Amino acid sequence: MTVALYARRKGWPLQSVSVRLEHSKKHVTDCEDCETKDVKLDHVAVELILTGVLSEEQRTRLLEIANKCPVHRTLTSEIRISSRLA
């Protein structure tokens, strides 16, 4: 949604945006800067499919915008979950 709004505001010929996600768990040894060594690291691979006649510069900028959207920022930040019974 953020990417589409940005492209519309700029007047770019973006026709549609699709996102493919792939989730996996990787051993922490794959992450040299991780603090704990006895867990697996969640890895989410994102493929952004942009439809429309866009220049390479526009496509690159839209990827940058996607990486700054609220959902991406939430997923890359530290998350604390509080559970309670209702």
Provide the pLDDT confidence category of residue 40 given band limits of 50, 70 and 90.
confident
Q: Report long-range pairs for 22-26 (Cβ below 8 Å, ≥24 apart).
A: 22/47
Rounded to an integer, the average pLDDT of 19-45 is 74
Per the model's pLDDT, the better-predicted residue between 28 and 83 turns out to be: 83
Indicate the helix (H) or strand (E) that contains 64. helix 56-66
Q: Judge contact between 3 and 15, C-beta under 8 A.
A: no
Report the percent of the chain where pLDDT is more than 70: 85
Sign of CA dihedral 62, 63, 68, 72: positive
